Chain A
């Protein structure tokens, strides 16, 4: 790859769609998702990796989109909160967050759910402790953690049931 100085069009695959977007080297994935692609479900919180509000998946792994240069994830598979809906049906995690009232202001919710999504893929039957550890990098300033943990537990059960039925 030649040096990239200014804006350059790159391919980004987000939620199954391929976009050709102009990016500058310094644009973060968060900037591009929100400002260029209009996917504003992903939130900007601390902008330094600590709070987790901007968490998205790159090739199935949770990453901080605020600390990811968009240009460095060309051609990778990116999933945001908007991509969890399938055939207009909410993902079990989204449904469980609603049913357990696992949100107050809702700002941390997309990051929480994306973190939980990657975590459950890896560990489908987690203990409460493991869930708490997994979301320890996602900060909820409304402090509604217990219902968040309950929602993730419920979603894990739901996903397991769906797999068996």
Chain B
């Protein structure tokens, strides 16, 4: 690892100023579980490292009438362990439970997972399914971007120089809504996913009608993606096994994995998207 100059700002604006000053030569570090690996392999060689972990009060998990707010520094472990989250947004705490190992979850942050922006990032599909947004802050003020538009390419986000992700905002779950994130990994659920599938669906309780649905896929494109055509297959429809099958196929058709991935061939990933979309639909539409 190369030498760097180390900063420990105590406020968001201090951190944003440092980022604005040093631009491309600076990197933010939160838990460091992605960044330090990249630096050890010399894939990244920042001259200035800005540790935001010491900024107080940015690791909250708060609930109010507008839903849920998660501070960017909340750890994956905190998301896994929060009793209120387990009850109100089980899809998030379950995703956190099957993420790396305890020692990784203890320090890895949700902000780091999203900002690292690899297509396999486990927290992304579920949050996209929940219609979450990212609150971004820089010296020119703040803005809120739906997570659907947050990722712009592999390792790329809408964050501009000098900006930080500060909060994830999640609207309340409507009544009769359930969500699940299924991660297909080779050895255990703690590995990075071959594919990840999140389904969040709202049912009309009596008629077995699917009122609304969101399907998001991980690791099958340069960014996490919505499977919009698959959603259309089932939205507003009476749910039947045949429709579930059609929806799962549509999701597989929307996946466009790149060839040459170390974890699986594009054909295999597509086949797994179908399998896991079907499973996820069966779980939430039951």
A residues at B contact (CB < 8 Å): 1, 3-5, 24-26, 28, 47-49, 52, 55, 61-64, 67-69, 71-72, 115, 118-119, 134, 136-138
Contact = CB atoms under 8 A, between A and B. Distances in A.
Nearest to B81: A122
Given A49-B37, A69-B32, A55 B103 contact: yes
Query: Which one of B3, B5, B6, B29 has the highest number of Cβ atoms from chain A below 10 Å of its Cβ?
Result: B6
Contact of B6 (A3, A49, A62, A64): A3
29 contacts: A1-B7, A3-B7, A4-B6, A5-B6, A24-B3, A25-B6, A26-B3, A28-B36, A48-B40, A49-B103, A52-B103, A62-B102, A63-B107, A67-B33, A67-B36, A67-B107, A69-B6, A72-B8, A72-B32, A72-B51, A72-B53, A72-B54, A115-B102, A118-B102, A134-B102, A137-B100, A137-B102, A137-B104, A138-B101
Report the 6 A-B pairs with minimum CB-CB distance, sorted nearest first.
A137-B101, A25-B6, A62-B103, A4-B6, A1-B8, A61-B106
Contact of A25 (B32, B37, B49, B102): B49
Contact of B101 (A24, A25, A71, A136): A136
A61 B107 CA distance: 9
B190 interface: yes
B101 A26 contact: no
B256 to A, nearest CB: 29
Contacts of B37: 48-49, 67
A111 to B, nearest CB: 9
B54 to A, nearest CB: 8
Contacts of A118: 102
Query: What bracket does the count of chain B residues touching chain A fall in?
Result: 20 to 34
Given A52-B101, A52-B103, 10 more contacts: A4-B6, A26-B3, A47-B40, A49-B103, A63-B107, A64-B33, A68-B32, A69-B6, A115-B103, A137-B190
Interface in B3-32: 3-8, 29, 32
Interface of B: 1-8, 29, 32-33, 36-37, 40, 49, 51, 53-54, 100-104, 106-107, 188, 190
A26 B1 contact: yes
Contact of A26 (B2, B7, B33, B190): B2
Contacts of B8: 1, 72
Contacts of B106: 61-63
A10 to B, nearest CB: 11
A119 B37 CA distance: 25
B102 A69 contact: no
B204 to A, nearest CB: 37
A3 B104 contact: no
Nearest to B53: A72
Contacts of B40: 47-48
Contact of B104 (A26, A28, A49): A49
Contact of A64 (B2, B5, B54, B103): B103
A136 B103 contact: no
